[in-house]
Amino acid sequence: MRVDIRPFGQSPAGEPADLITLTNERGESVSLTNYGGHIVSVMVRDRRGNLGEVCLGQDSAEDYARRDIGYMGGTIGRYGNRISGAAFTLNGEEYALYANDGRNTLHGGQEGFNRKLWAYEVAGNSVIMRYTSPDMEEGFPGELSVEVRFTFSEDAALRIDYLARTDKETHVNLTNHAYFNLGDSPDILGHTLWVDADRVIEVDGELIPTGILMSVAGTPYDLRQPQPLGKVMQREDNAMFTAAKGFDIGYVLNGGGMRQIARLHDPDSGRVMTVSTDQPGVQCYSGQGFNCGGRAGHHYCAYAGIALETQQHPDTLHQPSFGTTLLRPGQEYKTSTIYAFTAK
Ligand code: BGC
C-alpha cells in the first residue's frame, strides 16, 4: 500500500488540512481529508480493468466547508440523522440542540463532526482520525473522544471502524455520508440496489419516525430482490417517495452482527459495491437535493450519487423501541462498516 499526503486547503478557522491517499498494488485508491473526516475519492476498476471514480467529492477543504454539498463524504456526528424537536431529556435534564432542519436537528447540528479538523495518523493501510468533542458542544453533554479508522485493502474494500468514549452519559450515532456512483452516468438511476430489510421506518412529513416499522412487502421500496433505482422511484403508489422526491428511507436491517446488508450494481461498468455492517439500520438517500459543484469543475445534479448511511435508526433517543444510542462513561461505542468493490 502506498501512502501519499498533500495539502488540501484550510478549514474556515484557517487550520491547514491534508489529503491522504492510500493506493493498493492494483492502483486502486481511497483519498481522505482530516477536515471533517471526509472520504474524498474512491478509485476502483471496472469489469474491463479501467480505473474510475465511484465517490462524489470536492477539491479542497474550503469546498467541504460549503453548505450546499449535502454532507458529501463527511463523518457525521455526534448524532447522525434526525432528532425530533431539537431537544432531548437525559437523567431529568433537558438538552437543547440546534434546529438545522426545520424544527429538528439533522446530522449533528450547526457544526457537526464533518466541519471539524481531525488529528490523524497513518498506520500501515489505515488512516486513524481522532476528534475530541467538548462537553456541551452542539448542546450534547459529555466530552466525547472519537476515533475513526479508515482501512483500504488490496482487494478494494474500505473499512470504517468507529470508537467513542465519554466522560458523562450522552447519545451517539456516527456514520459516514459518502455518495456513490459506480459508473460514468451523471446519475445513479440505472443502478440496481439490494437491501436486506423486511421493514422500513415510517416517517411523517418532516421525516421524523412515527414509531411504526412498516413491512416493505408490496411497496416500491421492497429491495429484497435487486431493483433498478430509476424505475422504482417512478412508482407513484408511495407517499414516502412523493414527500422525499426519491429514496430517503431508513431500512430496518435483517439479522444482527457483522453481515452483508446491501449491494449496489452498475450494469454499464459492471462495478458492484457491497455494504457490510453491524448496525441495525441504513439510511438510503438518493441525492435528490443535489445541485452543486464538485471536483474538477463537475456539476452534481439530482440523483448524482446514493448514500448508504449505516447507523442506529433516526431519532432513537425518542423511540425506545428502536434500541438505544446512550453511551455511559466506561463503555465503548464501537461499530464498523465495510464498502467493498468488485466488478463482473
Ligand atoms: C438525510 C436527508 C437529507 C440529506 C442531506 C440524508 O442523510 O436522510 O433527509 O436531506 O442527508 O444531505
Residue that is written with C-alpha cell 423511540 in the block: 319
Average pLDDT rounded to a whole number, residues 114-134: 98
- Kind of pairing between the strands at 38-45 and 51-53: antiparallel
* Distance between CA atoms of residues 23 and 31, nearest Å: 9
Ligand 1 site, CB within 6 A: 70-71, 207, 248, 283, 285, 289, 307, 309
**pLDDT tens, 83-95?**
999 999 999 999 9
- The candidate with the shortest Cα–Cα distance to 272, out of 260, 281, 283, 286, is 260
Q: Is the pLDDT of residue 236 over 90?
A: no
Q: Is the pLDDT of residue 243 over 80?
A: no
Cα-to-centroid distance, 198 and ligand 1 (Å) = 22
Average pLDDT rounded to a whole number, residues 192-206: 96
Residue 92 backbone zone (phi > 0: left; psi -120 to 50: alpha; other: beta): left
pLDDT of 302 reads 95
Query: Which grid coordinates belong to 159?
Result: 473499512
**pLDDT tens, 63-85?**
999 999 999 999 999 999 999 99
Domain 2-343 sits in CATH at 2.70.98.10
Could you tell me the CA-to-CA distances from 50 to 101, 181, 286, 343 in Å, in that order? Answer: 40, 15, 25, 10
Query: Is 309 an annotated catalytic residue?
Result: yes
- The candidate with the shortest Cα–Cα distance to 79, out of 273, 267, 283, is 283
Q: What is the pTM of this model?
A: 0.98
Of residues 38, 107, 171, 177, which has the active-site annotation?
177
Residue 341 backbone zone (phi > 0: left; psi -120 to 50: alpha; other: beta): beta
Q: Is the pLDDT of residue 235 over 90?
A: no
Query: Is 177 an annotated catalytic residue?
Result: yes
Domain locations in the chain as residue ranges: 2-343
Residue that is written with C-alpha cell 412487502 in the block: 217
pLDDT of 234 reads 83
Atom of ligand 1 nearest to the CA of 309: 7
Mean pLDDT of the chain: 97
